[in-house]
Amino acid sequence: MLLVHGRHRVWSQLLKTRFRRAFPDASERVQFVNSRKREDFLAFLACVDVSLDIPHFNGGNTTLEALAVGTPVVTMATDFMRGRVCAAIYRKMGVGSLIAKNPEEYVDLAVRLAKDDRFRDRIKDKIEKKDDCLFENNKVIREWEQFFLKACKRKGARRDHQ
């Protein structure tokens, strides 16, 4: 498993210590890599078999970046918005099969994607066929245009009355 160092290296050290306590036989298989420039990070994401959306931390940008390069992301929706972004993205795409219902299913999905090439290829194909609703969606742009046009008209109308 590869993790990107956080802003403060002490976070990585704390996680390494926690991993050594939690799973001493496998903790050495967890490696930390330095953060990268955007284009290098996207290339890095394109090389991994699966990305994990951490249940209690918002991975919205990373999820979009992973999906943009076709890398599947395993997620598990939680009670708070920060733990529901990836699931909402998948629902929008119609790819709900990577939304785990519980921690056991989360692990099972991640392991299956890492080990089962045919399953991973089918999921990647689904992602690539559906990603246009995220990245080529002009409807959202038109809605923002309408919002700003209405907001500007209202502001102009208020100024005329003052």
Q: Which of 62, 21, 22 is nearest to 42 (CA)?
A: 62
In a shared domain, residues 144 and 123: no
In a shared domain, residues 124 and 146: no
In a shared domain, residues 27 and 69: no
In a shared domain, residues 26 and 95: no
- pLDDT band (50, 70, 90) for residue 35: confident
In a shared domain, residues 13 and 77: no
pLDDT computed for residue 39 by the predictor:
92
* Chain segment 47-58, per-residue pLDDT in tens: 999 999 988 777
- pLDDT band (50, 70, 90) for residue 68: very high
pLDDT computed for residue 102 by the predictor:
94
In a shared domain, residues 87 and 119: yes
Asked if residue 44 belongs to a domain, the reply is no
In a shared domain, residues 54 and 122: yes
Asked if residue 150 belongs to a domain, the reply is yes
In a shared domain, residues 84 and 104: yes
The CA-based angle 84-107-102, given to 5 degrees, is 50
More confident call, 96 vs 100: 100
Q: Is the pLDDT at 161 greater than 60, yes or no? A: no
Beta partners for 32? 3
Asked if residue 152 belongs to a domain, the reply is yes
C-alpha pair distances (Å), 156 with each of 139, 152, 159, 160: 26, 6, 5, 6
In a shared domain, residues 113 and 155: no
Would you call 141 helix, strand, or coil by DSSP? helix
Asked if residue 23 belongs to a domain, the reply is yes
User: Structurally, how many domains does the chain consist of?
Assistant: 3
pLDDT computed for residue 159 by the predictor:
61
* Chain segment 17-29, per-residue pLDDT in tens: 999 999 899 888 8
- pLDDT band (50, 70, 90) for residue 111: very high
More confident call, 80 vs 119: 119
Which segments within 84-126 are labelled E, that is strand? 99-100
Asked if residue 105 belongs to a domain, the reply is yes
In a shared domain, residues 60 and 119: yes
In a shared domain, residues 82 and 10: no
Q: Is the pLDDT at 75 greater than 90, yes or no? A: yes
pLDDT computed for residue 162 by the predictor:
56
Q: Which domain holds residue 3?
A: 1-35
Element (H, E) at 31: strand 31-33
In a shared domain, residues 122 and 77: yes
Asked if residue 42 belongs to a domain, the reply is no
Q: Which region among 26-30, 125-129, 158-162 has the lowest average model confidence (pLDDT)?
A: 158-162
pLDDT computed for residue 14 by the predictor:
92
